[in-house]
Amino acid sequence: MLNLTLEEILSAVEGKLISQASNKLPISGVSTDTRTLSKDSLFIAIKGENHNGNLFVEDALKREASVCIVDEVYDNINYLYNKNIIKVDNTREALLKLAAYYRKKLNIKVVGVTGSTGKTSTKDIIAAILSSKFKVYKTKGNYNNEIGMPLTILNMQQGIDIAVLEMGMSNLNEIHKLAETSLPDLAVITNIGITHIENLKTRENIFKAKMEITDFFKDSNVLIVNGEDDLLKTIGETPYKVVKTGFASQNNIIGKDIKNLEHGMKFNVIINNKVDEFFIPLIGKHNIENTLLAIGVGESLGLSIEDMQRGISNLESTSMRLEIVEKNGVVIINDCYNASPTSMKAAIDVEKSLKVQRRIAVLGTMKELGDYAPKSHREIGKYAKENKIDVLITLGEYSSLYKEGYGEDIIICDSIEEIIERINNMVKPQDSILIKASRSEKFERIVHGLLEQLN
């Protein structure tokens, strides 16, 4: 992190200094968790559902934090003497304000990535493609909300050329705040699905929420969208440039002639009538959609297809997203990070493309679908049956609906332990096993259990 003075921090967060040690602040990073706090860090006390960070200020100071930002002060705690303490009205807002100030000090370009599904994979591909020419920093893990994204910005070091920042949301105005903080030069929207429809009620409202990423755009900004999406492809004339990517001929960047290979896919990329071949070490048509968006970013920043192809060799995918591992002849597809109807279908498509004897799928609950949940689980059961899933195993509150879609030969389990036992009793070499559910279901435990027990 760049050095900031106490005056800069006070001005940025619009706070009041209630205790001071020194104006010279060696700040090594920013944290909201004292368990990961290093010496000389800035601690921001966030109030969450389970913990109130204001109660941990004394602990932060014992760990030699340079400064603490709080929105509550307790009279019975003797931590104020000769320490840098800043009081603000709301530490969540202060975190966003400080990150916004810091972002403006950084001489970088920002690529913002949002969408109902595929944003993390797309972020990873963008970062890889750009890495052939630029020093790139990207969102780690799931740091894509109003706490995670500003922390990502504040922990950037000097020397970064481009930051690729993932932006998540569950309601209106959330991406607006993230865009105000990060001021993206380029933005990417992967698709408009029904994730979070429980809050937003309609896909049109989800579309509106995702488009907030452009709220601070000027004519020099670029929006890159998936032209295969029925809502995104309707974007008309705007003050800024819009690049549409996909398989249809009306898109600005077109992918066609897909070839499935043993360790990835080849396809042709058409830009301004020029055709180039491109390889990605990934499988699944959805990953070509994600890659075309990334190519749109690279092309907007002046990279050639050759530059981008070199960069893709540096691809580092976020864990638990379509990770494919093989043990003793059994292929396991670990896609436990999250689940929506769109990503469920994409994962089933990937398993369908594998050259195996038998396809097993273990599917769990898809969260945050509201009134769409029954229909969605029923449809995924039907989709699995129609797309060569030989054995479907389910767990969770919507298992009976999966059964309605798939049929009577489904296997419904009551626990993760039962799933592991069932699979161990039936699995054979040349089988594949897809494991997928929403993050809260913790289906990665199934992956770990199978990897331990497969002989």
Regarding whether 211 and 240 lie in a shared domain, the answer is: yes
* 57 occurs within a structural domain: yes
On whether both 250 and 173 belong to a single domain, the answer is yes
In a domain, 317, yes or no: no
Contact call for residues 361 and 384 (beta carbons, < 8 A): yes
Classify residue 216: in a domain, yes or no: yes
Does the annotation place 298 within a ligand binding site? no
91: annotated binding-site residue? no
Residue 351 in any domain: the answer is: yes
| pLDDT recorded at residue 430 | 94
**What pLDDT, on a 0 to 100 scale, did the predictor assign at position 79?**
58
Kindly report, residue by residue over 337-351, the tens digit of the pLDDT: 889 999 999 999 999
Q: What is the pLDDT of residue 274?
A: 97
Residue 119 shares a structural domain with residue 48: no
Q: How many domains does the chain have?
A: 3
70 and 113 part of one domain: no
The reply to whether 281 and 429 lie within a common domain is no
Confidence band, pLDDT 50/70/90 cuts, at residue 85: very high
Confidence of residue 80 (pLDDT cuts 50, 70, 90): low
Domain boundary among 58, 91, 124: 91
Of 19-23, 93-97, 176-180, the range with the lowest mean pLDDT is: 19-23
Using one digit for the tens of pLDDT, what is the confidence trace for 124-158?
999 999 999 999 999 987 789 999 999 999 989 88
pLDDT at res. 51: 87
CATH of the domain at 407: 3.90.190.20
Closest CA to 340 of 280, 283, 409, 286: 286
Is residue 274 located within the same domain as residue 327?
no
CATH code, domain with 274: 3.40.1190.10
For the stretch 392-450, pLDDT in tens is: 999 999 999 999 999 999 999 999 999 999 999 999 999 999 999 998 999 999 999 99
Are 258 and 126 part of one and the same domain?
Answer: yes
171-215 pLDDT, tens digit each: 999 999 999 999 999 999 999 999 889 889 999 999 999 999 999
User: Do the domain assignments include residue 100?
Assistant: no
- What is the reported pTM? 0.86
Statement to judge: residues 20 and 112 lie in one domain? no
Mean pLDDT to the nearest integer, 65-84? 78
Domain shared by 336 and 283, yes or no: no
Residues 56 and 165 grouped into a single domain: no
Q: CA nearest 373: which of 333, 400, 410, 408?
A: 400
Within a domain: 101:
no
Averaged confidence pLDDT in the chain: 93
297 and 230 in a common domain: yes
What percentage of the chain reaches a pLDDT higher than 90? 77
Give, in degrees to the nearest 5, the angle at Cα 370 between 170 and 418: 100
Q: Which domain holds residue 379?
A: 323-453
Annotated binding-site residue? 118: yes
Looking at the structure, do residues 127 and 19 belong to the same domain, yes or no? no
Q: How far apart are CA 273 and CA 158, in angstroms?
A: 39
